[in-house]
Structure 1
């Protein structure tokens, strides 16, 4: 009888201990949820603009390659700005870095909505990229450091916020863009004001977990890239982003849909991205490992881009491929972000900044290149070239496998 009475409390203590070691993804501090919802609104900005690209080209008398510069300036400024995010956040704190980023996004998106020519708009999108760099790099580090459920689950939460923002953004952008191409820009500014209020109220002024003890140097991201594993993932992401931003920035021009139609297509894309990043990516990681799963997703994405390149003139094929690509991109984004966070013995914010610098360089070149390839050759070529770059990223990871294979053990430990 005594054995029974003692075993029940022991079992309860064991269960409680297990729950504390591996708490639920949804049981997070308020600060995590504040950043999570701000991330949703921030990433709505990317999807909001997508359905209005053809309308901007038409109403501002701009070529397709000129309109794709809206992504190029945004990503180029964001890539360079990523290098200073750690230095800024270590001096003014995580909360104020996030709020500063939100203010800059709101300001430049509002000015974009009031602009009257494509080159002014391209320049203002660059300013928007600066704000996004401050927010994106810091928000990932904030969620990972503030979360009580481990790195892997924190990254899933971050990717879920991105997916929700990207999926809802096109629907809202299509609706606002149906009234005027300026609508989505002014919509982003309004949403950023809401995000600013929410983050100001819900995120604590100081938190020992989120406060960086030492000031980060501007050279730290470059020093971090001396780690071959981090450099490998950064270059692979730059190559993979040629495919990602070819789809995002150029596909709207070949779909032949109005703002509402484009909004619904990219809503489907974003929903699959959100769902797979949360529910499917962890299962792939557990079953096949981070690196193998990542390479599989990249190969399948390259094949989808090739399909889009071959059947560019067949609308239903391109629509289906765009939506299905969301599933592959959702999985890959979570897998590669997890890999980066576990790739090198450096601060997570520094690793994120170094990786993002390389990743967004690819995102800066790809949109303009896609537009130019279509002008120089035909609408099929951008997708085929994008597919080639994605396949090269897989080959590059394979060539450096001995430098990144430790990531699977590190991911399993989280």
Structure 2
């Protein structure tokens, strides 16, 4: 029997706000670094080969540990795991900011990735169990999706501001005060909870298989972008990662206390929501990465101005996620909202594929960005809500870790594939005698159209596999917690 949730007389919206700040801090860090990479390279004298590991040293442990961290949250208590991750993430951020060599920075980024995985793995599960079903739960998940998407959009802006006004060290130091506030507030505000307990047993072999497999898979994907899919290292590491993951699946089918119960995938809704997210995020990484490149390399924007170019997108995502999506969810249901949002995302990428080499921001980028913000703001809360509603509260941690893992793998694969296609197209156009700007924009067009294809595939998966669902009950129709109690299972 799953343990009973422990209730605490804490403002539920304070809990949601606290968790969303934690999510935004982690997502910000993943995006804020990209804008500062040239300054980091110059400041530490890094080669191009070493520079890529400033990103990869974070991404690899982050993607590899999410499933394990999510399950530990169910066993030990998600509050405990979340705050432990925040402490490690914040401490590693200080080490990153103080780094004076490539070795120190890359090692600190690895620790930061470990802390980020531990902190973020349980976040969605905690947010989803603050409220019973109804409009407030939809609003809470919408706030979480805004923290994720808004952090991605604000990251380039904040990175540009800190890099140009201070220096690159502050893109890491800024996490320390945020983390300190999260820990001090979280110790008092987050409800106490009883996890299932370690006595249930931890599938150690399964944990080793999935962590090793996911780590090697992410490593193979991100490294393939630099050395090529046909490189010997890629051809060795990739199959080894898949072999470990196949072993993990086999282990889960026979383990007495599996790390990831395979019965979760009997839910077509959970499986479809994760597949939709994989495809959507694979495309969405194209907006942040190639959108930034278009503004800087083609339109000639500096880091700060390019970051400001993403601000309207963040505003739209905030307006839709925090103000509109919950009302629409209760009126039309999550499936309808998801499909509408995905259709808008496809439209936005198609619009971006017409961006010109001599373009103007207000014509060639902004309209598509606003449509993208509207589409993602509608689709993300509906997608997350569908997935989390398909699992019991006692398994919200592992489901949250699964969602985050799908997101990381989708982003890593998507960015690698999009980059490969864009670079190949740009090289071909340059070899044919096109100007640098025309060659670059040709490559970006290819990336945006491929991203549109990913979003279209997500739309088709959602339309075929997700059943039509009734609109969510209003909070008046939903069972309310006793008094002001809040349960975080």
Q: TM-score, normalised by structure 1?
A: 0.78
Residue 28 of structure 2 is aligned to residue 44 of structure 1: yes
Q: 1-side partners of 2:391 and 2:57: how far apart?
A: 29
Runs of 5+ consecutive residues of structure 1 not aligned to the other structure: 1-25
Partner of residue 252, structure 1: 292
| 8 Å CA contact 1:229, 1:344 repeated in 2 | no
* 1:279–1:89 distance in 2 versus 1, CA, 3 Å: same
Q: Deviations over 1:243-300 (max 9, x none)?
A: 1111123321221222211221222222221221122222332444311221221122
Partner of residue 184, structure 1: 171
Deviation at 1:398, TM superposition (A): 2.5
Q: Deviations over 1:127-172 (max 9, x none)?
A: 4333223222322222332347753233134334445645554443
Q: 1-side partners of 2:73 and 2:56: how far apart?
A: 25
Residue 318 of structure 2 is aligned to residue 274 of structure 1: yes
Deviation at 1:238, TM superposition (A): 0.7
Q: 2-side partners of 1:119 and 1:288: how far apart?
A: 53
* 1:125–1:229 distance in 2 versus 1, CA, 3 Å: farther
Note the aligned Cα RMSD (angstroms).
3.4
SS at match of 1:310: coil
Partner of residue 405, structure 1: 467
Partner of residue 141, structure 1: 125
* 1:53–1:307 distance in 2 versus 1, CA, 3 Å: farther
Alignment of 1:104-253 (within 5 A): 104-115=88-99, 125-147=109-131, 151-162=137-148, 165-166=151-152, 168-178=154-164, 179-204=166-191, 207=192, 210-213=193-196, 215=200, 217-220=257-260, 222-253=262-293
Q: 1-side partners of 2:129 and 2:370: how far apart?
A: 33
Deviation at 1:69, TM superposition (A): 6.9
Q: TM-score, normalised by structure 2?
A: 0.67
* 1:306–1:33 distance in 2 versus 1, CA, 3 Å: closer
Q: Deviations over 1:363-400 (max 9, x none)?
A: 12222333333322223222221111111111222332
| 8 Å CA contact 2:273, 2:387 repeated in 1 | yes
Q: 1-side partners of 2:138 and 2:370: how far apart?
A: 26
Pick the aligned partner of 1:322 from 350, 369, 382. Answer: 369
SS at match of 2:390: coil
| 8 Å CA contact 1:312, 1:318 repeated in 2 | no
Q: 2-side partners of 1:83 and 1:374: how far apart?
A: 32
SS at match of 1:405: coil
| Deviates most, 280-289 or 335-344 | 280-289
Aligned residues: 380
Partner of residue 305, structure 1: 349
Q: Deviations over 1:64-122 (max 9, x none)?
A: x9877766664554333221123322343222211121123223333433457889766
| 8 Å CA contact 1:108, 1:124 repeated in 2 | yes
Residue 308 of structure 2 is aligned to residue 264 of structure 1: yes
Runs of 5+ consecutive residues of structure 2 not aligned to the other structure: 1-9, 203-256, 427-442, 479-489
* 1:240–1:200 distance in 2 versus 1, CA, 3 Å: same
